[in-house]
Amino acid sequence: MKKKLIILSGDPNSINSEIIYKCWSKLDNSRKKKIYLVSNYDLIKEQFKKLNYKISLQKVKNVNENTEGHKLKILNIDLNFKNPFKVPNSSSSMFVKKCINFAHKICLTESVAGMINCPIRKELLNYKKLGVTEYLASKCKIKNNSEVMLIKNKKLSVSPITTHLDLKNVSRNINEKIILTKLKTINSWFLKYYQRKPKIAVLGLNPHNAELHKDSEEIKIIIPIIKKLKKNGFSISGPLVADTIFISEYKKFDVIVGMYHDQILAPFKAMYKFDAINLTLGLKYHRASPDHGVAENLILKKKANPLSLMNCIQFFNNF
């Protein structure tokens, strides 16, 4: 890890402090020196106390302050609370947004590789476009839908064209411009960071690709896009059928692009569970998050799996 890394503690009412501790205990000192946690010092201290985790903390004002390498460094964000795992939604919402906005400003500096945000309930953002992906795209002033949600592990990546939309709204939110822009972002990202052209599979929207009826989205939108990108040198195939791609054909590809969230995330998570990370491509910096939720049902049970957060940290090893 060459540069400093920002981790946001995320939603206070979550397993986040547990998975942070479990990852921290496995890191060597060279990586610990590079990591800064954006959170509330007293909140984290009390959560670790409740979990009976013994860990040394250090409150710091910025990423350039002299620190003790073995201590978990806290960039403090104000938060008033009585119970460290039952923070009211209004306070949690304000805290989460302050953390994201603060981390965003730090990540625009050259000394920081990027950020990892631990899980956050989307309703805490009070943002009309819902997710952290879209929120950060807005902060980076991305206006052409070029930001991309990419769920990735060592074997496969998947990406939805539309993210957190109700199914009834999906078809009206896919068009040539949006799909082209996102596919170009994916292709460019792989070329830049892995120095190779990705093999991309694009799924149709409808069951069995609507049997390729002439008025289907497959015929009117998706097939013309694939033909255009092939002419431009993309390694791209489709539209492929969503109900069979994950049987074995997925092994031929680096990335499978679906038209909506659960079309590709449901089978991917069934296959790989916590062994994946959520990336946002197209921002002014790298952003990753664990590919799971806040798991309120596991709070204080010490059963949370830290694998996805550890994978996020390892992703930044080369930056």
**Does 144-281 match 1-142+283-319 at the fold level?**
yes
Q: Are 222 and 204 in contact (CB under 8 A)?
A: yes
Q: Is residue 197 left, alpha or beta, with left meaning phi > 0 and alpha meaning psi from -120 to 50?
A: beta
The β-bridge partners of 255 are 157, 200
Instruction: Tell me the C-alpha distance between 190 and 253, whole Å.
Output: 13
Q: How does pLDDT run along the chain (319 residues), one tens digit per residue? A: 789 999 999 999 999 999 999 999 999 998 999 999 999 999 999 999 999 999 999 999 998 887 777 899 999 999 999 999 999 999 999 999 999 999 999 999 888 999 999 999 988 988 666 688 888 988 898 877 788 999 999 999 999 999 888 999 999 999 999 999 999 999 999 999 999 999 999 999 999 988 889 899 999 999 999 999 999 999 999 999 999 999 999 999 999 999 999 999 999 999 999 899 999 999 999 999 999 999 999 999 999 999 999 999 999 988 8
Topology of domain 144-281, per CATH? Isopropylmalate Dehydrogenase (3.40.718)
Domain residue spans of the chain: 1-142+283-319, 144-281
> Which residues are within 8 A (CB) of 62 and not within 5 positions of it... i.e. 6 or more apart?
75
| φ, ψ at 241 (rounded to 5°) | -85, 125
pLDDT for the residue 129 = 61
Three-point CA angle 132, 136, 139, nearest 5° = 145
The 3-class SS string of the chain reads CCCEEEEECCCCCCCHHHHHHHHHCCCCHHHHCCEEEEECHHHHHHHHHHCCCCCCEEEECCCCCCCCCCCEEEEECCCCCCCCCCCCHHHHHHHHHHHHHHHHHHHCCCCEEEEEECCCCHHHHCCCCCCHHHHHHHHCCCCCCCCEEEEECCCCEEEECCCCCCHHHCHHHCCHHHHHHHHHHHHHHHHHHHCCCCEEEEECCCHHHHHHCCCCHHHHHHHHHHHHHHHCCCEEEEEECCCCCCCCHHHHCCEEEECCHHHHHHHHHHHHCCCCEEEEECCCCEEEEECCCCCHHHCCCCCCCCHHHHHHHHHHHHC
pLDDT for the residue 69 = 72
Q: Are 148 and 280 in contact (CB under 8 A)?
A: yes
CA within 13 Å, CB half, 246: 19
Rounded to the nearest angstrom, the gap between the alpha carbon of residue 46 and the centroid of all alpha carbons in its chain is: 27
pLDDT for the residue 5 = 95
Three-point CA angle 31, 121, 52, nearest 5° = 55
Q: What is the pTM of this model?
A: 0.92
With CA atoms as reference, report the closest residue to 182 among 229, 127, 250: 229
pLDDT for the residue 132 = 87
Topology of domain 1-142+283-319, per CATH? Isopropylmalate Dehydrogenase (3.40.718)
